Amino acid sequence: MRQFDVYPNPVTRAQKAFPFVAVVQSDLADTGRDRIVAFLAPLAAVPTVAGRLMPVVSIGDDAFVLFLPSLTNLPANDLVDARGSIRAERDRIVEGLDWLFLGV
């Protein structure tokens, strides 16, 4: 499990709106059993909310909105069957996290 890996959302009640989650926690910040994740929603479902705090990222051929303001922790054991990575979008994700936490 690495930073920016994408997994099916293990939270059953949220899977319809957010089919995937992405690990945003640094690989160096091993917190044991949990990982900090952000939810991913299909761009088609939320076309007007994308922006600095919610960058659009690609998973395969599909576009998703990464909901950085909705960070949560999930058990690492629940994150199985990685579906890809959004590591290529790292700079935009870090910009969003900087804006969210530091206002820069």
- pLDDT of residue 32 exceeding 90, the answer is no
Domain that holds residue 77: 5-102
34-43 pLDDT, tens digit each = 999 999 999 9
Number of domains forming the structure of the chain:
1
In this prediction the pTM is: 0.93
Confidence tier at 9 by pLDDT (50, 70, 90): very high
- DSSP letters spanning the chain: --TTEEEE---GGGTTT--EEEE-S-TT---TTEEEEEEEEEGGGSTTS-BTTB-EEEETTEEEEEEEEEEEEEEGGG--S--EE-GGGHHHHHHHHHHHHH--
So what's the pLDDT on residue 104? 85
**What CATH number should be reported for the domain holding residue 59?**
2.30.30.110
Confidence tier at 50 by pLDDT (50, 70, 90): low
So what's the pLDDT on residue 51? 79
Higher pLDDT, 81 or 32: 81
